[in-house]
Amino acid sequence: MAINRIQFQKGLSFRDFQARYGTEVQCRDAMVKAKWPHGFQCPKCGSGGAYFLVPRQLFQCKACHHQTSVTVGTVMESSHLPLRTWFEAMYRLSHGKHSISALELKRYLGVRYPTAYYLKQKILCAMSAAESSRKLKDRVEIDDAYAGGATHGGKRGRGAPGKQPFLVAVQTAMENHRQVIYTVLKAVTDFKIETIEAWAKKALDPGTHVVSDGLHCFRGVAASGASHEPIKSEGGWKGSKMEAFQAVNTVISNLKGNILGVCRWCSARHLPRYLAEHQFRFNRRFNLQAIFPALFAAVTNTPPHPVRLLVSEACG
């Protein structure tokens, strides 16, 4: 049996992770290197050189005595959790093939459920920020998809009540359509032509060749300079097996399994974050060794997301 090189690649084992980031000092050193790669720089006066105040885990500028932390200005700001708890949460959320629920995270980390829940949401915001500038090119399969709503009875798919619509775009190699490269997943309010135009300008390179099932709104991709090839899709099972849409149908199928398996039901408020999480992991599946460093960089580069913002609105 042929081995799938992507699925069988060597990742970062939990043992190796613990050896690198198992203590508070190791985590803090990693944060210091990320925040001040050329040595400490005071955010107030700009001078170098600081004392480290062990009891409060703060750096104090030698020149102006301003006190600061490695987490200031990041999504970790104001958190009272040990850094190693954040690091393990980042590992657990990035390294599996599938997402894990806040309940599982709570068990792994030994924290309260609300703590695990907001920790996860903040890390998902960092994943969303890291993927916000993703652009697709070459050949792109595009389709509409829906999350949530009634699970039994009632209408399915387009127009079903309570469903949260989202857009799925998958880049494949131009010549080999089975060679899937990247995906972009976007929660949308509707499938109107102007919605697709706005999305395409942001997410598609000019010159992209887009293949769709011909849903009226998809002609909006032309606003980005992309060409559009509508292919009439056969309904039902036959449609899902069509060669032209194999990549996008596979991504939708995996995504639905992941969202249903983890959160059972996804509200409109949280859907963008769950989509961003899936997109972040999917687009880095070629190099599992690099996925934790990528998430670490995202968490340290993403500005603070207070809990009130996580509750009231979706990020990304």
Structure token digits, residue 252: 């939708």
Work out whether 126 is an interface residue with Zn ion (CB under 5 A): no
Q: Give the number of C-alpha atoms closer than 13 A to the C-alpha of residue 18, restricted to the C-beta side.
A: 3
Whole-number minimum distance, CB 61 to Zn ion, in Å? Answer: 3
Whole-number minimum distance, CB 127 to Zn ion, in Å? Answer: 33
Whole-number minimum distance, CB 31 to Zn ion, in Å? Answer: 19
Work out whether 290 is an interface residue with Zn ion (CB under 5 A): no
Cα–Cα distance between 142 and 159 in angstroms, integer?
A: 18
Whole-number minimum distance, CB 41 to Zn ion, in Å? Answer: 9
- Angle at the Cα of 6 (from 2 to 8), degrees rounded to 5? 65
Q: What is the DSSP string of 228-281?
A: EEE-PPPPHHHHHT-GGGHHHHHHHHHHHHHHHHHHSS--TTTHHHHHHHHHHH
Whole-number minimum distance, CB 28 to Zn ion, in Å? Answer: 20
Work out whether 105 is an interface residue with Zn ion (CB under 5 A): no
Exactly one of 42, 93, 196, 248 binds Zn ion (CB under 5 A); that residue is 42
Options 57-65, 89-97, 178-186, 291-299: segment touching Zn ion (CB under 5 A): 57-65
How many residues of this chain bind Zn ion (CB under 5 A)? 7
Exactly one of 6, 53, 64, 307 binds Zn ion (CB under 5 A); that residue is 64
Exactly one of 20, 41, 66, 215 binds Zn ion (CB under 5 A); that residue is 66
Exactly one of 6, 25, 45, 290 binds Zn ion (CB under 5 A); that residue is 45
Structure token digits, residue 38: 């050329």
Which CB sits closer to Zn ion, 6 or 45?
Answer: 45
Work out whether 62 is an interface residue with Zn ion (CB under 5 A): no
Determine how many CB atoms are found less than 10 A away from the CB of residue 120.
Answer: 22
Cα–Cα distance between 81 and 93 in angstroms, integer?
A: 17
**Quick one: how far is CA 179 from the chain centroid?**
21
Options 37-45, 215-223, 225-233, 234-242: segment touching Zn ion (CB under 5 A): 37-45
Options 49-57, 59-67, 82-90, 277-285: segment touching Zn ion (CB under 5 A): 59-67
Options 64-72, 112-120, 192-200, 253-261: segment touching Zn ion (CB under 5 A): 64-72
Work out whether 50 is an interface residue with Zn ion (CB under 5 A): no
- For the chain, the 3-state helix, strand and coil shares in percent, each to the nearest 5, are 45, 15, 40
**What is the Cα gyration radius of the chain?**
22
Which CB sits closer to Zn ion, 19 or 64?
Answer: 64
Sequence-distant contacts of 210-214: CB under 8 A, at least 24 apart: 210/140, 210/141, 210/142, 210/169, 211/139, 211/140, 211/141, 211/142, 211/244, 211/245, 212/141, 212/142, 212/143, 213/143, 213/239, 213/245
Work out whether 44 is an interface residue with Zn ion (CB under 5 A): yes
Exactly one of 12, 27, 30, 61 binds Zn ion (CB under 5 A); that residue is 61
Whole-number minimum distance, CB 72 to Zn ion, in Å? Answer: 13
C-alpha closest to that of 191 among 162, 240, 158: 158
Site for Zn ion, rule CB under 5 A: 42, 44-45, 61, 63-64, 66
